[in-house]
């Protein structure tokens, strides 16, 4: 009898090929006759294209084709908007720029040549005459009167403006004993998966079909939009995200110009074409997250009860809005966090700038929201002379108040209703892990030694596991082994392990009897994608329910064959047998053969469809709200502004944990993103909209030196909204990190009375804070 593996530290089934150099990433694929593409990108952030001369490039013998906008014919289209919204004035990028350039890095031409070297040689020979125009490089100045316009028909560069809130906010503020107001500037950064983007496409002239491989988080989305762009039916396009995609973190969850251009070129030339993004292109053309400005206000009673919170948020969305206003909406709806707020209001302004389009990066607008709320909590604690943990505790939603209706709507249009959680327990556990209660003594001792150490708290609630759905097909073969197919495609999260764990328990099989096939639109008709911490909820429950159906089907067929009642049958170790009479058994393989119709003349039991197979699409009713508390300890060198992370403690609730090893890996990795977010990663643009630090020499990712091993505790509050009881965990590690660090740095520098209002906190910025108070 196999043991239950849900909840066990099952070692990853993905590792072996990756450890031995046998992984299969998109750029590893080669097809006979394959050509290589390179993209000419605009050097200007805003310019009019006067003319393009490609004749010299086309004349090279190694060049198969050069495409500019006018060569695209019916495919000269805007990339379709994913999430239209009446509150949004959407503007979308074309595959290749037509008249006007709107960000430095926008695609202008595509060269296809014998190899990448030849293709890049040809890029140098393309002559583009640009008329440079003044650019919008800063989100606040973009709103000012007289600012240049990113889109001439969008006045004030305002893509969207909306308000979310509840309660009588004016009354709350006018009646409050304490009102605090503070501006914050937050920044996120790029996804920077170690594998950049890559696309390979092949056109089969006889079948009139295109196969495309893409290092994407969302193959079904790519297939649908590519069919629209290329003017073919969906069945004519098959998109495969190879088994190995080298990280995603958000930016790979959207349709890019190259995902239209590469198959376009492959079809036009009748030869396979591959394009692989280099790191510089990833900086210039893969979507990012950047600045948000917050003008936050909090109203409280003298004993630290929050009466109201309001925030005017300005959001840099870049030159186009491929994800609509999803991300600003997430920011707005995440601000309340774990707190009971009687009144709340966010006024959101989404601004076009001449920069790379903004789409979600791990955390997706939440780190910025949490930053605003948690910083205000810390300021209020300071003002009221309360411990930062205590002021939070006084305002936390209690477990018995679940489900808790926040009073606003989420991005799926449903009311924000926290389904479950134990926020006080998370806070308490994280404090314990961090040694919070003994920290003040340590801090005093450190001060005496001239060392500045500080502790900071970040709490968050995250809407995870949003629909619409994900699906799974479970099929048992004549060998008795299982094939699990899902549209949810992994980028390192370990789907082939965790999803197999779920199926293994339901089918009473060993994990290794279950093969997992992901990310192939030819293998499962519908899928959404791996992003937004949604796979455990959506794909996990699909697997559970499909496996359950297969189990029931196997028992129904066995009942016919063994002439026993369903209730007397049991499934284990790859067969179905009569309870108490294990010799009266039929193997899953034999049942699969029977169900497939290999016994002519046999009649399937009533209501049982052919094939020992079931398909289930799980569609959650609303978000599953994960939560957690991070408590961090740092030491700040007041002379240099350098920060050393001394300790990182996490207590979090992602519902039932499928595989603690993998969950801890997600959190630890998320924390590393948070450390980058708080201290290192800033996309710095000049006034002309030029990215000044487009390399890993100037834009720093955290290394082994900067990321300590976090202490992690799982507080498992079962999610009542799905049969597995799970919530998402992919982003929680990142979300409160910047807020917690800002608090810890401020706490360390408490003797100097500085206020941290901005991330990233470079040593330079910390020195500037200290200089501001004469140090």
Sites for other proteins among residues 392-421 (CB under 8 A)? none
Residues 550-589, one symbol each (x = binds other proteins by CB under 8 A, - = not), give ----------------------------------------
Q: With contact defined as beta carbons under 8 Å apart, do 440 and 633 qualify?
A: no
Residues in the chain: 775
Strands 711-714 and 643-653: parallel
Q: Which lies closer to other proteins via its Cβ, residue 20 or residue 51? A: 20
Phi first, then psi: give them for residue 54, nearest 5 degrees: -110, 10
Told to check if 494 binds other proteins by CB under 8 A, we report yes
Contact partners, residue 665, CB within 8 Å, separation at least 6: 494
* Least separation in angstroms between CB 62 and other proteins: 10
Told to check if 701 binds other proteins by CB under 8 A, we report yes
Told to check if 279 binds other proteins by CB under 8 A, we report yes
Work out whether the CA dihedral 594, 599, 603, 609 comes out positive or negative.
Answer: positive
* Least separation in angstroms between CB 417 and other proteins: 32
Q: Which lies closer to other proteins via its Cβ, residue 189 or residue 324? A: 189
Sites for other proteins among residues 114-143 (CB under 8 A)? 115-117
Strand locations in 573-621 (E): 575-578, 581-587, 613-618
In the three-class reduction of DSSP (H, G, I as helix; E, B as strand; rest coil), residue 389 is classed as: helix
- Candidate list 6, 130, 249, 625; residue touching other proteins; CB under 8 A: 249
* Least separation in angstroms between CB 695 and other proteins: 6
Identify which of 646, 677, 680, 644 has the alpha carbon closest to the alpha carbon of residue 764: 680
* Least separation in angstroms between CB 92 and other proteins: 28
Identify which of 591, 557, 490, 616 has the alpha carbon closest to the alpha carbon of residue 219: 490
- Candidate list 2, 7, 8, 12; residue touching other proteins; CB under 8 A: 12
Told to check if 512 binds other proteins by CB under 8 A, we report no
Candidates 47-55, 131-139, 508-516, 666-674; binding stretch for other proteins (CB under 8 A): 666-674
Sites for other proteins among residues 190-209 (CB under 8 A)? 192-196
Q: Which lies closer to other proteins via its Cβ, residue 274 or residue 392? A: 274
* Least separation in angstroms between CB 434 and other proteins: 17
CA distance 300 to 352: 35
Tokens of 682: 């800033």
- Candidate list 21, 32, 601, 606; residue touching other proteins; CB under 8 A: 21
Contact partners, residue 486, CB within 8 Å, separation at least 6: 470, 471, 472, 473, 495, 499, 516, 517, 518, 524, 527, 539, 542, 543
Q: With contact defined as beta carbons under 8 Å apart, do 637 and 645 qualify?
A: no
Q: In whole angstroms, how large is the CA radius of gyration of the chain?
A: 28
Q: Which lies closer to other proteins via its Cβ, residue 240 or residue 546? A: 240
Tokens of 46: 């805003």
Phi first, then psi: give them for residue 715, nearest 5 degrees: -105, 100
Q: Which lies closer to other proteins via its Cβ, residue 121 or residue 570? A: 121
* Least separation in angstroms between CB 676 and other proteins: 9
Identify which of 625, 628, 652, 657 has the alpha carbon closest to the alpha carbon of residue 721: 625
Told to check if 707 binds other proteins by CB under 8 A, we report yes
Q: Which lies closer to other proteins via its Cβ, residue 17 or residue 597? A: 17
Identify which of 504, 593, 592 has the alpha carbon closest to the alpha carbon of residue 548: 504
- Candidate list 2, 7, 8, 28; residue touching other proteins; CB under 8 A: 28
Candidates 132-140, 276-284, 541-549, 744-752; binding stretch for other proteins (CB under 8 A): 276-284
Told to check if 18 binds other proteins by CB under 8 A, we report yes
Told to check if 246 binds other proteins by CB under 8 A, we report yes
Q: Which lies closer to other proteins via its Cβ, residue 96 or residue 671? A: 671
Q: Which lies closer to other proteins via its Cβ, residue 322 or residue 670? A: 670
Strands 470-476 and 344-352: unpaired
Told to check if 61 binds other proteins by CB under 8 A, we report no
36, 161, 702, 737 from 672: Cα distances, Å: 35, 33, 7, 9
Q: Please, what's the b/e burial string for 509-546 (b: 16 or more CB within 10 A of its CB; e: otherwise)?
A: bebebbebebbbbebbeebbbbbbbbbbbbbbbbbbbb
CA distance 507 to 599: 24
Whether the bond into 281 is cis, omega within 30 of 0? no
Interface size with other proteins, residues (CB under 8 A) = 58
- Candidate list 695, 720, 753, 768; residue touching other proteins; CB under 8 A: 695
> Which H or E element spans position 550?
helix 541-562
Burial class (CB in 10 A: 0-12, 13-18, 19+), 125: middle
Residues 78-117, one symbol each (x = binds other proteins by CB under 8 A, - = not), give -------------------------------------xxx
* Least separation in angstroms between CB 673 and other proteins: 8
Residues 636-665, one symbol each (x = binds other proteins by CB under 8 A, - = not), give -------------------------xx-xx
DSSP per position, 203-229: EETTTTEEEEEE--S-HHHHHHHHHHH
Told to check if 16 binds other proteins by CB under 8 A, we report yes
Told to check if 19 binds other proteins by CB under 8 A, we report yes
DSSP-assigned letter for residue 97: -
* Least separation in angstroms between CB 108 and other proteins: 21
Q: Which lies closer to other proteins via its Cβ, residue 668 or residue 762? A: 668
Residue with tokens 């969305």, as numbered in its chain: 317
* Least separation in angstroms between CB 536 and other proteins: 15
- Candidate list 365, 655, 669, 732; residue touching other proteins; CB under 8 A: 669
Q: Which lies closer to other proteins via its Cβ, residue 42 or residue 489? A: 489
Told to check if 704 binds other proteins by CB under 8 A, we report yes
Q: Which lies closer to other proteins via its Cβ, residue 116 or residue 224? A: 116
Identify which of 459, 543, 556 has the alpha carbon closest to the alpha carbon of residue 499: 543
For binding to other proteins (CB under 8 A), which residues are involved?
11-12, 14-23, 25, 27-28, 30, 115-117, 192-196, 244-247, 249, 276, 278-280, 491-494, 661-662, 664-665, 668-673, 695-697, 701, 703-705, 707, 709-710, 733
């Amino acid at each position: 009898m196999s043991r239950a593996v849900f909840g066990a530290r099952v070692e990853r089934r993905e590792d072996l090929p990756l450890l031995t150099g046998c992984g299969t990433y998109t750029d590893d694929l080669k097809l006979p006759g394959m050509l290589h593409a390179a993209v000419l990108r605009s050097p200007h952030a805003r310019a009019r294209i006067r003319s393009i001369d490609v004749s010299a490039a086309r004349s090279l013998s190694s060049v198969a084709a050069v495409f500019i906008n006018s060569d695209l014919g019916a495919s000269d289209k805007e990339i379709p908007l994913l999430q239209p919204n009446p509150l949004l004035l959407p503007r979308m990028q074309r595959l290749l720029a037509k008249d006007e350039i709107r960000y430095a890095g926008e695609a202008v031409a595509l060269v296809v040549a014998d190899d990448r070297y030849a293709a890049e040689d040809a890029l140098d020979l393309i002559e583009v005459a640009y008329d440079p125009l003044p650019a919008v490089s800063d989100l606040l100045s973009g709103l000012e009167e007289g600012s240049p316009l990113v889109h001439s028909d969008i006045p004030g560069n305002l893509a969207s403006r909306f308000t979310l809130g509840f309660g009588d906010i004016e009354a709350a503020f006018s009646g409050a004993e304490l009102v605090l107001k503070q501006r914050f500037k937050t920044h996120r950064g790029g996804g920077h998966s170690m594998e950049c983007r890559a696309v390979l496409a092949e056109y089969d002239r006889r079948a009139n079909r295109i196969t495309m491989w893409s290092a994407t988080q969302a193959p079904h989305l790519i297939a649908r939009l590519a069919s629209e762009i290329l003017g073919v039916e969906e069945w004519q396009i098959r998109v495969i995200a190879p088994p190995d995609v080298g990280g995603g973190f958000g930016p790979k969850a959207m349709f890019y110009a190259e995902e239209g251009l590469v198959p376009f070129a492959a079809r036009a030339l009748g030869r396979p074409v591959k394009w692989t993004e280099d790191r510089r292109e990833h900086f210039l053309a893969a979507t990012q997250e950047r600045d948000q400005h917050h003008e936050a206000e909090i109203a409280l009673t003298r004993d630290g009860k929050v009466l109201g919170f309001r925030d005017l948020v300005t959001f840099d969305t870049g030159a186009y809005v491929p994800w609509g206003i999803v991300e600003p909406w997430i920011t707005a709806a995440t601000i309340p966090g774990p707190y009971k707020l009687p009144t709340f209001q966010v006024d959101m302004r989404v601004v076009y700038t001449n920069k790379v389009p903004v789409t979600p990066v791990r955390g997706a607008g939440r780190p910025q929201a949490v930053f605003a709320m948690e910083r205000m909590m810390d300021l209020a604690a300071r003002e009221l002379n309360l411990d930062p943990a205590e002021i939070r505790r006084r305002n936390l939603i209690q477990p018995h108040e679940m489900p808790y209706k926040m009073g606003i709507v989420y991005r799926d249009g449903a009311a924000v209703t926290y389904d479950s959680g134990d926020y006080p327990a998370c806070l308490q556990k994280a404090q314990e892990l961090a040694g919070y209660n003994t920290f003040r003594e340590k801090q005093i001792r450190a001060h005496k030694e001239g060392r500045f150490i500080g502790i900071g708290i970040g709490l968050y609630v995250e809407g995870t596991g949003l629909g619409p759905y994900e699906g799974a097909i479970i099929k048992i073969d004549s060998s008795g082994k299982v094939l699990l197919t899902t549209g949810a495609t992994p980028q390192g999260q370990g789907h082939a392990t965790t999803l197999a764990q779920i199926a293994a328990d339901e089918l009473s099989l060993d994990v290794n009897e279950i093969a997992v096939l992901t990310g192939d639109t030819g293998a499962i008709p519908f899928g959404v994608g791996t992003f937004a911490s949604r796979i455990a909820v959506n794909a996990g429950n699909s697997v559970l329910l499909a496996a359950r159906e297969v189990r029931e089907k196997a028992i129904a067929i066995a009942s016919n064959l063994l002439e026993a009642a369903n209730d007397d049958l049991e499934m284990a170790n790859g067969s179905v047998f009569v309870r108490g009479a294990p010799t009266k058994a039929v193997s899953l393989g034999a049942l699969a053969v029977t169900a497939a119709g290999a016994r002519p003349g046999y009649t399937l039991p009533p209501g049982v469809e052919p094939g020992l197979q079931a398909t289930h699409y799980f569609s959650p009713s609303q978000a599953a709200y994960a939560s957690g508390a991070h408590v961090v300890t740092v030491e700040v060198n007041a002379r240099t502004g350098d920060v050393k992370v001394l300790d990182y403690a996490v207590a979090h609730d992602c519902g039932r944990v499928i595989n603690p090893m993998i969950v801890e890996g997600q959190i630890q990795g998320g924390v590393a993103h948070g450390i980058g977010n708080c201290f290192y990663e800033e996309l710095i643009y000049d006034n002309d909209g030029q990215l000044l630090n487009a390399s890993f020499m100037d834009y720093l990712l955290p290394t082994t030196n900067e990321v300590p091993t976090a202490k992690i505790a799982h507080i498992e509050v079962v999610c009542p909204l799905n049969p597995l009881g799970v919530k998402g965990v992919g982003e929680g590690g990142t979300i409160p990190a910047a807020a917690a660090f800002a608090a810890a740095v401020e706490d360390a520098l408490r003797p100097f009375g500085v206020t941290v209002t901005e991330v990233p906190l470079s040593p330079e910025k910390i020195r500037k804070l200290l200089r501001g108070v004469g140090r």
